[in-house]
Structure 1
Amino acid sequence: MTVASQVKQCLSTLKGIEATLDTFSLEAKNEETRKVFHETCLLTRRVIADIEVRTGELEREEPQYKGF
């Protein structure tokens, strides 16, 4: 497995985690719990954005990885 495919797999996994955290934040009954899930979801979104930038860099540096 190439580095680019591992990074993209990681990105995909993080997007799944983000969706799960968002669901938990909507379904939580306790306000404090809801807030923790929401904040964690926002943090995960920032990590996703950083990895998406890195994915773009990988694709520019190594065009053969584009679209993987």
Structure 2
Amino acid sequence: MTVAAQIKQTVASLKGIQATLDTFSSFAEDEEAKTLLKNNSEKVYQVIDRLEQRVKVLEFEEPQYKGF
């Protein structure tokens, strides 16, 4: 498995984690828990964004990995 494929797999997993955090925050009754879950969801989003930027760089440098 290439590095690009591993990063894409990681991004997909992180998107699932972010969706779970968003779901939990919408059902949380405690405001402190809701805030904590939303903050963590935002942090995960930032990581996803950075990894997606890295994938673009990898695909530009190594065109054979594009689309995997």
Q: Normalising by structure 1, report the TM-score.
A: 0.97
Q: Which runs of 5+ in 1 are unaligned?
A: none
1:48-59 correspondence runs (5 A) = 48-59=48-59
Unaligned runs of 5+ in 2: none
State yes or no: 1:18 paired with 2:18.
yes
Runs of 4+ in structure 1 displaced over 2 angstroms? none
The aligned counterpart of 1:46 is 46
TM superposition score normalised by structure 2: 0.97
Post-superposition Cα deviations, 1:7-49, rounded to whole Å, max 9, x if no partner, equal 0000100000000000011010100000000000000011010
- What is the RMSD computed on CA atoms of the aligned residues? 0.5
Q: Which residue of 2 aligns with 1:5?
A: 5
SS at match of 1:4: helix
Counterpart of 2:64? Answer: 64
Calculate percent identity across the aligned residue pairs: 51
